[in-house]
Chain A
Amino acid sequence: MKKIFENDGLKKLILLILIFGIVQLLITTGIISPYLQETLVTLCINIILAVSLNLITGFTGQLSLGHAGFMSIGAYTCALITLNMPTTTGFILGVLAGAVTAALFGFLVGLPTLRLKGDYLAIATLGMAEIIKVIFINLDSITNGAAGLNNIPQFVTWPWMFLFTAGTILIITNLLNSSHGRACISIREDEIASEAMGINTTKYKVAAFTIGAFFAGIAGALYASNFYFIEPNQFGFLKSIDVLVIVVFGGMGSISGSVIAATALAVISTLLQSFSEVRMILYAVLLVIIMIFRPQGLMGSKELSLSVLGRLGNSDSKKGRV
């Protein structure tokens, strides 16, 4: 038993299968009601969005207030494809096309704007997302304007959702544990030193932006395929802020933090469901309180690693492995 737990890859796999299996079981037995299933889908989408934004903002240090813009591109691309091709192939194609289109936009937008720093970049990305929104509102013939697209075929099921969410987390975590990921992180730490150590900072900023946009595109595509209906205003400034709040709440530079924060906020949101009138007020107050008392977020830049989990289950191994 102990030997199995020493293989990191295997541990991850077991954990993933466990999560998938348990949730699948709860769905089949009806313990997770259809309403909770919707919450689960929203949660997964938020995780994908937060993890991908964390790559841009938390790890590479480039504050973006326009993540919802990339999400909308993914959503519209996928919706338009599945409306014309309502098959599973169409769905897969839609998600991929949505991700690639969003990534392309991320690249095109990132190239000129990533020369900007801090708040200037934030406000430029915000502007970019607003422009994307206005374009979707005005492309009446394709996007049906402000009224939005209706009757989008629904394909998202728990296995799909799990596949994309786990895939996003794995790929981004792998990236961050590689030399390329460290190059990104070094930009956050000290851009001048990073450049002086031979790192093409522009390239890696744009890469992080493009990869982040890619996964935001996936999140958007899944959103469209689950909720039947999309309109430009769903992907406004507030959506971008929602995602940023998850990232900061979980801890900038902590993937597990993003996952935990997204989950915590989903739980809070579900609990407050019956107080819909004051829900947003409480959410806002909570936000301010958290920032005042824990500005670094739940996890800071630390990760909840498997070795920590392993230690919990395995009290005789004192030292966590690296």
Chain B
Amino acid sequence: MQILKVNKLTKSFGGLTAVSNVNMELNQGELVGLIGPNGAGKTTVFNLLTGIYVPTSGTITLFKDGKEKKLNGLPPYTICQSGLARTFQNIRLFKDLTVLDNVRIAMHSNVKYGLFSSFLQLPSCKKEEKELIEKSMELLKIFHLEHKKDELAKNLPYGEQRHLEIIRALATDPVLLLLDEPAAGMNPAETAQLTESISWIREKYNLTILLIEHDMSLVMKICERIYVLDYGMVIAHGTPDEIKNNKRVIEAYLGEDMSNA
């Protein structure tokens, strides 16, 4: 069952076309990789999908609960509320806030009590606040961060900051999760652990995941399908095996990496 359809997505910055005519389809429950050399336009695709950039042309359609919804042109917060959540390549946590607050903020769009209730801390507000903490603690357990809930995000070690980014994205209650280089800067053992966690998260929360990653061991291990981007265009897509043997891909990007694999 299709969950996201990207049709002829294009983004130009002045004269430079960063993303050009990208078509992409994601099915419910899939784990799909988006790879390509540096500067191929991967993060730009994420920024387009999540509304941070407005596409120059093309459409992005989300299929959720049997309804289709055009996402292109919507502001980022609406897109997030529609069920697309993301992490950032260059970690953008709320650095000076606690781990718990980082997670609770991401849950905000599902909070029902109003401003007035919060002015007076009415029972509706107090009750929901309690639930928020409980839910946050559940999520923090995924990466064993529950005992660090009161630490400031900036004081976490690098790997845990990446974990917190994923937890924060999950807290928005998404159907589709976009992970931008989740394993960047991690050592092989950490990457292996992350690989397992990502699979586990997908099962547990019934998610579709699209992931940008440079670590080929991770991509080849968990992705069911892969899109390869070069100079803003999709130059290939298929299963990891197909991609491994695709001549254009090898030329454009993988080269030696794959002959060693």
> Direct contact between A and B in the complex (CB less than 8 angstroms)?
yes
Given contacts A177-B121, A189-B97, contact A197 B106 (CB under 8 A): yes
Contact of A182 among B50, B77, B92, B104 (CB under 8 A): B104
Look across to chain B and name the residue whose beta carbon is closest to the beta carbon of A179. Answer: B111
B106→A198 contact, CB < 8 A:
yes
Chain-B contact segment, one of A199-207, A241-249, A258-266, A269-277: A199-207
B39 within 8 A of partner (CB): no
A186–B168 Cα distance when bound, in Å, is 13
Contact of B76 among A171, A195, A301 (CB under 8 A): A195
Which residues from chain B contact A181 at a C-beta distance below 8 Å? Answer: 118
A140 within 8 A of partner (CB): no
Contact of A192 among B52, B101, B117, B120 (CB under 8 A): B52
Top 8 closest pairs, chain A to chain B, by CB: A178-B118, A198-B109, A198-B80, A189-B94, A193-B92, A195-B76, A179-B111, A197-B106
Can you report 29 residue pairs joining A to B where beta carbons are below 8 Å apart?
A171-B119, A174-B118, A175-B118, A178-B113, A179-B107, A179-B132, A181-B118, A182-B97, A185-B101, A186-B94, A189-B96, A190-B92, A190-B93, A190-B95, A192-B76, A192-B92, A193-B92, A193-B93, A194-B105, A196-B50, A196-B86, A197-B168, A197-B169, A198-B77, A198-B85, A199-B108, A200-B75, A201-B77, A207-B115
Q: Which residues of chain A in 278-301 are interfacial with respect to chain B, using CB atoms and an 8 Å cutoff?
A: 301
Q: Which residues of chain A in 46-83 are interfacial with respect to chain B, using CB atoms and an 8 Å cutoff?
A: none
Question: Chain B: residues with CB nearer than 8 A to chain A?
Answer: 50, 52, 75-77, 80-81, 85-86, 88, 92-97, 101, 104-109, 111, 113, 115, 117-121, 125, 128-129, 132, 150, 168-169, 171-172
A103 within 8 A of partner (CB): no
B108→A185 contact, CB < 8 A:
no
- Smallest CB separation, A6 vs chain B (Å): 16
B108→A179 contact, CB < 8 A:
yes
Q: Which of B93, B106, B107 has the most CB of A within 10 A?
A: B106
Question: Chain A: residues with CB nearer than 8 A to chain B?
Answer: 171, 174-175, 177-183, 185-186, 189-190, 192-201, 207, 301, 322
Which residues from chain B contact A197 at a C-beta distance below 8 Å? Answer: 77, 80, 85, 105-106, 108-109, 168-169, 171-172
A252–B86 Cα distance when bound, in Å, is 30
- Smallest CB separation, A180 vs chain B (Å): 5
Contact of A200 among B52, B77, B93, B168 (CB under 8 A): B77
Contact of B101 among A182, A201, A207, A301 (CB under 8 A): A182
A180→B115 contact, CB < 8 A:
yes
- Smallest CB separation, B44 vs chain A (Å): 14
B125→A178 contact, CB < 8 A:
yes
A195→B97 contact, CB < 8 A:
no
A197–B251 Cα distance when bound, in Å, is 38
A194–B80 Cα distance when bound, in Å, is 10
A201–B51 Cα distance when bound, in Å, is 14
Contact of A195 among B77, B111, B115, B150 (CB under 8 A): B77
A181–B132 Cα distance when bound, in Å, is 14
A198→B75 contact, CB < 8 A:
no
Which residues from chain A contact B75 at a C-beta distance below 8 Å? Answer: 195, 200
A59–B26 Cα distance when bound, in Å, is 39
A179→B120 contact, CB < 8 A:
no
- Smallest CB separation, A310 vs chain B (Å): 18
